[in-house]
Amino acid sequence: MKPSGIGGQAVLEGIMMKNKSRYSVAVRKPDGEIEICINEHEGIGGGHTWAKLPLIRGVVNFVDSLLLGMETLTWSASFYEEEDEQEPGGFEKFLLKVFGEKAEKIVMGITVAFSIVMAVGIFMVLPYFISGFFRDYIVSNTLLAIVEGAIRLGLFVLYVVLISSMKDIKRVYMYHGAEHKCINCIERGRELNVKNVRKSSRYHARCGTSFLFIVMIISIIFFIFIRVESPALRVVFRILLIPVIAGVSYEFIRLAGRSENFLVRILSLPGKGMQMLTTKEPEDDMIEVAIRAVEAVFDWRAFQGYETADGSEEEAAETR
């Protein structure tokens, strides 16, 4: 398997695909037509060398994916807003007056920041306090850290299960499956068409679901070996170590997406197992949207070696 380096996410009735700094969003509008937006996303690193350093790049890419994800999700949702839009509220008018055209980005940044704070509180801090109820029964700090990690994993799985049961989210997960199937189709050397995408796997090692699952696992390892006596400092350390945990997790996901090593593939299986919940088999019209999103920013024919030196097309890769 040859890694393509492209990635993306599902949005409302569509797909976002990103290739380096260039991204596209393809959305199936209510009238059945496919609308495509192509743009550049420089990201918070701004192309600087420090943003590409191991461990640091994981944190940068995570924040970038949240910001870009929120932006593209908002754009896709605009096609499905009610026709009789309500007048902006007092707070919205205030933001428009103070920040002008940047108001939407400010709100987006606040939303992302709030989401991160909530995630840290629920998945990092809350398990620590819940595990505290077992301190009278468990003497070993190592075992207590494992119990805390099990609670953290349980909360994460419960969250994913509850979200996946929502009707609208089920369609988003079908588009998520279409995104993975397109990337797998390309990386397996198959011609990108509905038939080949349909028979490709909907599980991929570089998925965000796998990343979050690995974050939970890495956190268990960190909290077993990094200990402090003060209960207050334990909470502080759990928060301060999040960027490091995210950085290590990203490096593993990055390796998993490029390596065919047997051990790496085995370690990737639990994350792929979680994708059984966050991806669903897509319909053909969803696959068509995903293909359009890919082709808008990625030349899969050149990637697979279809294009010869003189510019003519020649099928150099086997179509399976």
The pLDDT tens digits for 297-317 are 999 999 998 743 344 444 433
Provide the pLDDT for residue 112: 80
Provide the pLDDT for residue 164: 87
Q: Token pair of 100, please?
A: 């002008």
**pTM of the complete model:** 0.86
pLDDT band of 202, cuts 50, 70, 90: very high
Give bridge partners of residue 34 from the DSSP assignment. 28
Provide the pLDDT for residue 94: 62
The C-alpha atoms of residue 256 and residue 264 are separated, in whole angstroms, by 6
- The answer to whether 305 and 317 have CB atoms below 8 angstroms apart is yes
Q: What is the mean pLDDT of residues 31-46?
A: 91
Q: Check pLDDT > 50 for residue 95.
A: yes
Among 157, 160, 182, 179, smallest CA distance to 169 is for 160
Tell me the residue ranges of DSSP E strands in the chain: 7-11, 14-19, 22-28, 34-40
Provide the pLDDT for residue 317: 37
Q: Which residues contact 223 (CB under 8 A, 6 or more apart)?
A: 145, 148, 149, 238
Residue 252 DSSP SS3: helix
Provide the pLDDT for residue 165: 85
Q: Check pLDDT > 70 for residue 319.
A: no
Cβ contacts of 107-113, under 8 Å, gap ≥ 24 = 108/67, 108/70, 108/71, 108/74, 109/67, 111/70, 112/63, 112/66, 112/67, 112/70
SS3 content of the chain, % helix, strand, coil (to 5): 65, 10, 30
The pLDDT tens digits for 222-244 are 999 888 888 899 999 999 999 99
Provide the pLDDT for residue 84: 43
Q: Check pLDDT > 80 for residue 57.
A: yes
Report CA-CA distances (Å) from 306 to 4, 181, 263: 15, 20, 32
% residues pLDDT > 70 (the chain)? 88
The C-alpha atoms of residue 224 and residue 136 are separated, in whole angstroms, by 18
How many other β-carbons are positioned within 10 Å of the β-carbon of residue 186? 25
Rg of the chain (C-alpha set): 21
Q: What is the mean pLDDT of the chain?
A: 88
> pLDDT: is 108 or 269 the higher one?
269
